[in-house]
Copies of this chain bind each other. A is one copy, B any other.
Amino acid sequence: MVTKRQEKERELRKEHILEGALTVFEEKGLEGATMDEIARVSDFGKATLYYYFPSKEDVFCEILDRGWATLWKSLEEVIDSDKSPRESFINILITIARKAQKNRNEYEFLFNAPQAITHIDDKDQVWKSYQQKLYSTLKELLEDGIAQGQFPKLDSDLMFKAIGGLFVGIIFMGEKNKDITGSDIEKLLNQLITDPKQP
């Protein structure tokens, strides 16, 4: 029998381990991080980690899953608001940017880690579906926006790739950009994604 409180505490302990794991993953990368160190950092015995998570990889994936789920939840509001494609598109990017700047470490991990594990398996990986959803939403907004003449006339694929790179660049290029503000991003996006209606 498991009480509500026990459940809660268990969840808390899991989160605590996940936090420790995140710092280690950031510092050492996926391969470089060891369960021994994660245990040390989160002040548990190694065996205890395996009481909460079945494997190192699961620890890794759970960080991604939870992070993407949280991010997606805040994006849903933006998406559901009935703005124009262009506005929604830009708002999504700005929302992500703001969150990422609050939690730079976590978001650097969320956006970079996935490519670090292309060599590994495919599994269920919930986070992948969120990532997919985000991408297809942006793509759709972009296409609708182009159709309505809200973006410069460019092949949407090309544009999308460019924006993707641009975005990653804005947020994660180097460690020296601690001083980018939300309004900077807004300005930059507005400048680069020229709105043909406002020459």
Judge if A169 is at the interface, Cβ distance under 8 Å: yes
Question: Contact flags (1/0) for A142-168 with B, using CB distance below 8 Å?
Answer: 000000000010110111011111111
Q: Min CB distance, A161 to chain B, in Å?
A: 4
Judge if A45 is at the interface, Cβ distance under 8 Å: no
- Alpha-carbon separation in the docked complex, A30 to B31 (Å): 9
Beta-carbon contact of A169 and B170 below 8 Å:
no
Q: Min CB distance, A65 to chain B, in Å?
A: 21
Q: Taking beta carbons and an 8 Å cutoff, which residues of A are in contact with B? A: 27-32, 112, 115-116, 118-119, 152, 154-155, 157-159, 161-170, 172-174, 177, 180, 184, 187-188, 191-192, 194, 199
Q: Min CB distance, A48 to chain B, in Å?
A: 25
* This chain: copies in complex: 2
- Alpha-carbon separation in the docked complex, A81 to B162 (Å): 28
Contacts A/B (CB < 8 Å), 11 sampled: A31-B32, A32-B119, A116-B116, A152-B191, A154-B188, A158-B180, A159-B188, A161-B169, A161-B170, A161-B177, A166-B166
| 12 more CB-based (< 8 A) A-B contacts, given A155-B184, A168-B168 | A29-B116, A30-B31, A112-B115, A157-B177, A158-B184, A161-B170, A162-B166, A163-B169, A164-B169, A165-B165, A165-B167, A168-B169
Partner of A192 from B184, B192, B199 at Cβ < 8 Å: B192
Beta-carbon contact of A162 and B28 below 8 Å:
no
- Alpha-carbon separation in the docked complex, A157 to B118 (Å): 31
